[in-house]
Structure 1
């Protein structure tokens, strides 16, 4: 059964190792689907023997980095792109000497600095911001729009698996999973790329393939709950 599952979703991965994904919700103000992520950082590998500094209440990580990669959401012509910023490529160096704080990277001896975008969701504060129009998603507690939208997705997904609604109806849920970037390799040799429209269509077609599987025959075990940033 596991090998059958691998065959069914092989097209999704292609020659890539996996994907970084998240939830996206339909903004009640502008109507666009906005991804939600508590961080846009992807990879930060620092060599051993380095020390941290204090900058007020914020901890600053200082030292030689083997890899620093982050995402940068950009809206162009009303279309959202999640750009991949790989500083090792930018600096054409295998080692980067830098000061790294929560939202800023300062490259030593070069005068260059990079701003890491702030995450646009804080679940504990019922806070989420649309990446398109900048609106704050409304509601608090159990009435928070994001929480209600994810509950709707869970209900719709069960209905989809039972054949009660179509894939298109599932895709029109107020909340839905989305792909942010794809990657190859592992460890310091991880390389990230932007998601294409074709990647998104293959991702959604995989839902149809999953519906064809008898889920009662799939071995189960405890799994981590789906978070706002996930690896597939």
Structure 2
């Protein structure tokens, strides 16, 4: 069950957080994993963990916001059976205090970066007879979150692009889905708390955790398990769907 043997998987943002958890799990399940991250050092650390556990992994470092670099990187891989678009950045701010530079930064990575990966991978999947794409959206795509204007914009775009790709390429045997995590405990969360709430990290961590009805943040491994299922052959009848994985945040807070 859920074997990825003989499959090449590209995971963007694979150097940390959810992306890294996906890389490690996919390698454990037999995939050859290509770790894409803007930080080559972080990507190499993930690959080192993969190989230390007997898996196969390679660094495919590139800036997803640069289309030509993405196209060149993917072309070197040669075959992509699974693409997981996990790379992303966040921002705190409302519409009237988000600078143009910050808005563009979020757009360039979370929206244009995902588009660039789709632009490069879809023709390869068409040529080889199919593939699977999994995008990371967020509860922010469908629920108003305070001070998350630009981030919410970007994740709404991820959701819309997912549905469009699923519709346009279903006859090419390309499945495309997305997931919408709630708050997940990653290094980003720890860095955010240290920067914005020095001395009150634990207090704020507990406060943020309790915004989810289940009473805690998700774990990267839990998110990776859902991604594994949706990218496996066992999920062959699933496309054009979004899966909340949010500790009850969307449904139980409404």
User: Does the pair score TM above 0.5?
Assistant: no
Q: Normalising to structure 2: TM-score of the pair?
A: 0.24
Q: Normalising to structure 1: TM-score of the pair?
A: 0.26
Please tell me whether Structure 1 or Structure 2 has the larger radius of gyration of its CA atoms: 1
| Structure possessing the higher relative contact order (Cα contacts under 8 Å, 6 or more residues apart) | 1
Normalized per residue, the structure richer in helix is 2
